[in-house]
Amino acid sequence: MSVTLPRLLRTSSFRLTVLYAGLFGVSVLILFAVIYWATGLYMTGSLDAAVDSDITELYDAFHSGGTAAVAARIGERVRQMPRGPIYYLLQDRGGRVLAGNLPAFHGGPGRFDLTAPERGPQGGERTIAIRARGVVLPGGTYLMVGADAFPRHEMHELILKAFGWGSVITLVLAFGGGALMSGGVLRRIETISRATHDIMDGDFSRRLPVRGTDDEFDHLVSGLNAMLDRMERSMESVRQVSNDIAHDLRTPLTRLRQRLERAHDRAHSVGAWQGAAARCIAELDAILETFGALLRIAQIDSGVARRRFARLDLSDLLHTLVEVYQPMADEKGQSFTVAIAAGLAVSGDRELLAQMLANVVENAMKHSPPGASVGLFAAASAGAVEVVVADDGPGIPAAEREHVFRRFYRLENSRSTPGSGLGLSLVAAIAALHQVRIDLADNGPGLRISLRFSPLRMDERSGAGRQASDSQPGSTPLRPPVLRAMG
């Protein structure tokens, strides 16, 4: 798609440029009017001052020698400057010209502008503009003195030309700059538009280009790219879930159908039917549990639970978890070691965090053999809170650790042991919602799972006491005692 002139003129940036150019033009006109008026006022004042000076001198001559002295003084000046720039008129009460280089004038006293003919040096006549002042001398004689107003006219013409050319050049530059700016913006929008069309056509890996100028377009594009990344991950997750559901639920559904078919063909008593129904109900419960876990993960991924976030006492939550799982450890003959610092505080949804921590502890106990050691440790580390669950069971091979949080993923390919493979997927979803970093490490033997919570913000800390880091100084990663005992 090319940038054509009609499309360029319809862009909002070009319309904005036109608006600013119009506002600038109005501002220039106002400035021109002010300068034009102020300059005219100044030039008129200068002409009036020159005229007043001559009239004062002629008044003095009148007081010393009467009308004849005034006429003589005017005659002398006209001989010296026959064509101005100062013009004189002295006429009697009847209108007869007594002296001067202006024709008779039937005006009155005061200041005024007038035009008068003047014979040029080549014999022709021209019209001149004069700024004059007339006074009536004692006895009725009329005296008028004027100054050539051509400098004022010349100044006005100069101002008109300067502002005229300046306005034309400014408007041309404004419209040209607006067109260039609009063209650049339009080309960038066209680039973004082409990228979005490619994405809509199915190229979900395509991203909008970022120039690296850190302007508003880069901020917008970065946000859109982040949204596209999340959408791509969500779609990939949906595809993965669909494939996993088709693969992982086929076996229990097939097994359920076979049991029903066997019961239909072989069960000939109420007891046999009841036994078959009980086994089918158990199979359906496992399937419903799987769908429930998937729904739970989807709800967590939507981020709705973030609205329920609040500051909570993680130490108290962990102690409650210990009370719940201590009987399970006793039943399997496992050693359950606990070291939880007091006053640990985090922000989040209590129910979801309890689910996440319970899944991790239960996973450690379930996959560790009888007599194994399981540890739960929590303390402050570098301003954040770290929770570690460690065991000396079979562990997870290093090559498999990056896959265990995928939905339906199970280390045992035969899937003979109970479970849906969604426990750690639920842990990962809750951790992502709460911005908790999960690290899997070798416990030598066994597995060490570290959950590192982000530090509380200032508004989350206020009114709720100090972080446990005040009583647990240090910035080294948490190393629980059971791990030291195991080497």
pLDDT digits (tens, 9 = 90+) for 55-101: 999 988 888 888 899 899 988 888 888 777 888 889 988 888 899 88
What pLDDT, on a 0 to 100 scale, did the predictor assign at position 484? Answer: 30
Contact 417, 250 (CB under 8 A): no
With the C-alpha atoms ordered 352, 353, 358, 360, is the resulting torsion angle positive or negative?
positive
| Measured distance CA(134)–CA(105) in Å, rounded | 10
Rg (CA), the chain: 49
The pairing of beta strand 345-348 with beta strand 447-453? unpaired
**pLDDT category, 376, cuts 50, 70, 90?**
very high
> pLDDT exceeding 70 applies to what percent of the chain?
79
What pLDDT, on a 0 to 100 scale, did the predictor assign at position 464? Answer: 41
Contact 392, 445 (CB under 8 A): yes
What pLDDT, on a 0 to 100 scale, did the predictor assign at position 377? Answer: 93
| Measured distance CA(181)–CA(190) in Å, rounded | 14
What is the per-residue pLDDT across 276-297, written as a single tens digit (0 to 9) for each? 888 888 878 777 776 666 666 6
Question: Can you list the positions of beta strands (E) in 15-80?
Answer: none
pTM, to two decimals: 0.47
| Measured distance CA(203)–CA(200) in Å, rounded | 7
Closest CA to 105 of 81, 84, 136, 75: 136
pLDDT tops 60 at residue 472: no
| Measured distance CA(85)–CA(54) in Å, rounded | 12
CB atoms within 10 A of CB 389: 23
What pLDDT, on a 0 to 100 scale, did the predictor assign at position 195? Answer: 83
What pLDDT, on a 0 to 100 scale, did the predictor assign at position 479? Answer: 40
With the C-alpha atoms ordered 455, 458, 460, 461, is the resulting torsion angle positive or negative?
positive
DSSP state of 398: G
Contact 57, 73 (CB under 8 A): yes
What pLDDT, on a 0 to 100 scale, did the predictor assign at position 231? Answer: 79
What is the per-residue pLDDT across 137-175, written as a single tens digit (0 to 9) for each? 888 889 999 998 888 888 888 888 888 888 888 878 877
Report the 3 state secondary structure along 294-312.
HHHHHHHHCCHHHHHCEEE
30-44, 263-277, 341-355, 425-439: the lowest-pLDDT one: 263-277
Highest mean pLDDT among 178-192, 266-280, 363-377, 388-402: 363-377
| Measured distance CA(10)–CA(379) in Å, rounded | 62
Element (H, E) at 232: helix 216-248
Characterize 232-261 residue by residue with b for buried, 16 or more Cβ atoms within 10 angstroms of its Cβ, and e for exposed.
eeeeebeeebeebeeebbeebeeebeebbe
What pLDDT, on a 0 to 100 scale, did the predictor assign at position 31? Answer: 86
| Measured distance CA(141)–CA(144) in Å, rounded | 10
**pLDDT category, 469, cuts 50, 70, 90?**
very low
Interacting residues of 482 by C-beta distance below 8 A, sequence separation 6+: 337, 373, 375, 377, 390
With the C-alpha atoms ordered 178, 180, 184, 189, is the resulting torsion angle positive or negative?
positive
| Measured distance CA(467)–CA(479) in Å, rounded | 19
What pLDDT, on a 0 to 100 scale, did the predictor assign at position 485? Answer: 29
**pLDDT category, 246, cuts 50, 70, 90?**
low
With the C-alpha atoms ordered 87, 93, 94, 99, is the resulting torsion angle positive or negative?
negative
**pLDDT category, 301, cuts 50, 70, 90?**
low
User: 209 by DSSP, 3-state: which?
Assistant: coil
